A and B are shown apart, each in its own frame.
Chain A
């Protein structure tokens, strides 16, 4: 202790703050920035797992964009998934959060119950859904048969498989719900009381008070949902393995296959960078156009109390 002080104060003034921040700096460089740069370098190479590595400039990227129909196909499936998953994820989370925000007996029990799927391992979750979706023995089709509906082959029919994955993915909306619930609880209740006294109907309170007040959280969950939609892998990989007939062959799965099945690390790295750029662009666009509908409580300019 005394040694450290002597070093920092006499020989290397200003060292102490760097020492304090070093765990983060080390982690960031070793595990985040380092691998990113490394993968960027990889993406400019023909990089088999074993064998000669060859620098090929942007060949991986041009191949992907001009000569690889599977790239476009998987990207299309991912986009289709995101288009349905993101709005549904937010809408359902919002609905559940609003329900859980009502003060009734057992609310905390429901909160835990709805959040539970988010802490269960993805693999266990998929196992349960596999059983639910099973054509002949599944819970879902059994339920449908009680209603007199002949259930489809959820995982075996290319028309239904993507829907099956969307539903299974929505099972993990607990995290989004929790963020929105926390946001709901931070809205001052006097705003609703003032609205009640003014005769503002309940629907208008939701539209004109709740949603604007919740907008920062909605924006946050919008972006995180978008990111998780593009990174969708586990559920599809374990539930359908991309099938049937590649109907659930997601972009992330194609990256995974390129890296670990086809052992083409360079190509996989290039695809990862494309995914990164897509997510980045979408996030920037969302943020840019969010100013119109997102209201931040904290951005006080001028005024103040007095």
Chain B
């Protein structure tokens, strides 16, 4: 509540670029992360999210740019001096050392007194409930236990910043859900800044205070998880967040005011409210986006098509529909909806639920109802345990 903006342990990334030889992996990243935030780096493989994390960790040298942690320049500091701890995807436990030694190894080599190390290891073990495993070797542990040890090793360093590189991706699905909840609880308990790299949008959406979506080495959007969903900044984010994917349709601009735009789709006109937008070039086509759960099967609609495939999941149906105007969309209906493959249907697009992207793929800011607007507005700083 007291520290706003860059807190004491806030992280600032300024104009970060990273190239491997002639390949530019990160093409200018600017981020400001507040103290105590849980941040996810989300993106498809190859978007540079792990490289960005490794740059922050000091495992990769920057090609350009700077990194500050807690107001201190750390760009050229060795990893160990950055006040960070890192958890690796494959845990990176030393297989020949027992759990206790794994956690204490780095500390003892840095000359920390044995009593202090003991206290830290015991505390970390208690937090993660691995006290009874302290004398085991990593190979005698299950995947989830190894993950806990890896996190425990990070905790003993008492860092200002935790870096987690896809820490749950080697676990099976049910364990992943459990560990997700535990990570969230751990963040609340420690109150320390965490950066979490993942390609799993569910992890990013459920764990994070804010999410950085990366696309081909650039920040596609940085915001509250629901903001990414309800107000995606561009086509990439709109298509990446949400499953099944958002439907995209090409439309023509018919007219626009300061806070609405009228487009035509197969001859039908559709006026979509915006939050106020810069004028769009009417000569170039725009993209209309509509989420599958917002498309309605109705008696009258802008689109017509034939159901090619009906996937009945119980609570909901996923209908894959080939449009008569070409292309296809996915519609989610209630699980009891009677539509079957082969049926001809009409689809209605509720204007308030439509997203409009200009010819460059940039979203026109969407006007949301008050309830949704309240949901996506950023919380007042990090969650306060008190």
Residues on A facing B (Cβ under 8 Å) = 188, 190-191, 193-201, 204, 208-209, 212-213, 215, 295, 297, 299-306
Q: Is the CB of A197 within 8 A of B143?
A: no
CA distance A5 to B105 in the complex (A): 62
CA distance A200 to B110 in the complex (A): 7
Q: Is the CB of B94 within 8 A of A200?
A: no
Q: Is the CB of A303 within 8 A of B106?
A: no
Q: Pick the most buried of A198, A201, A300, A304: most chain B CB atoms within 10 A of its CB.
A: A198
Known: A190-B88, A193-B88, A194-B92. A200 touches B106 (CB 8 A): yes
Residues on B facing A (Cβ under 8 Å) = 57-59, 78-81, 84-86, 88-90, 92, 94-96, 105-107, 109-110, 139-145, 153, 157, 170, 172, 175
List residues of chain B with CB within 8 A of the CB of A301. Answer: 139-140
Known: A213-B95, A306-B142. A197 touches B79 (CB 8 A): yes
List residues of chain A with CB within 8 A of the CB of B107. Answer: 198
Q: Is the CB of B92 within 8 A of A188?
A: yes
List residues of chain A with CB within 8 A of the CB of B141. Answer: 303
Q: Is the CB of B85 within 8 A of A295?
A: no
**Smallest distance from the beta carbon of A192 to chain B beta carbons, Å?**
9
CA distance A305 to B172 in the complex (A): 8
List residues of chain B with CB within 8 A of the CB of A191. Answer: 92, 94
List residues of chain A with CB within 8 A of the CB of B175. Answer: 306
Q: Is the CB of A196 within 8 A of B109?
A: no
Q: Is the CB of B96 within 8 A of A199?
A: no
**CB contact between A200 and one of B95, B109, B170 (< 8 Å): that residue:** B109
**Smallest distance from the beta carbon of A198 to chain B beta carbons, Å?**
3
List residues of chain B with CB within 8 A of the CB of A201. Answer: 109
Known: A194-B86, A204-B109, A208-B105. A295 touches B96 (CB 8 A): yes
Q: Is the CB of A297 within 8 A of B95?
A: yes
Q: Is the CB of B140 within 8 A of A302?
A: yes
Q: Is the CB of A199 within 8 A of B143?
A: no
10 A-B residue pairs with CB within 8 Å: A191-B92, A193-B57, A196-B59, A198-B153, A199-B109, A208-B105, A303-B140, A303-B145, A305-B143, A306-B143
Q: Is the CB of B96 within 8 A of A212?
A: yes
Q: Pick the most buried of B59, B96, B142, B145: most chain A CB atoms within 10 A of its CB.
A: B96
List residues of chain B with CB within 8 A of the CB of A295. Answer: 95-96
> Chain B: which residue is nearest A211 at the CB level?
B96
**Smallest distance from the beta carbon of A259 to chain B beta carbons, Å?**
46
Q: Is the CB of B92 within 8 A of A209?
A: no
List residues of chain A with CB within 8 A of the CB of B143. Answer: 305-306
Q: Is the CB of A303 within 8 A of B92?
A: no
> Chain A: which residue is nearest B59 at the CB level?
A193
Q: Is the CB of B105 within 8 A of A303?
A: no
Q: Is the CB of B172 within 8 A of A196?
A: no
Q: Is the CB of B95 within 8 A of A198?
A: no
**CB contact between A197 and one of B80, B94, B96 (< 8 Å): that residue:** B80
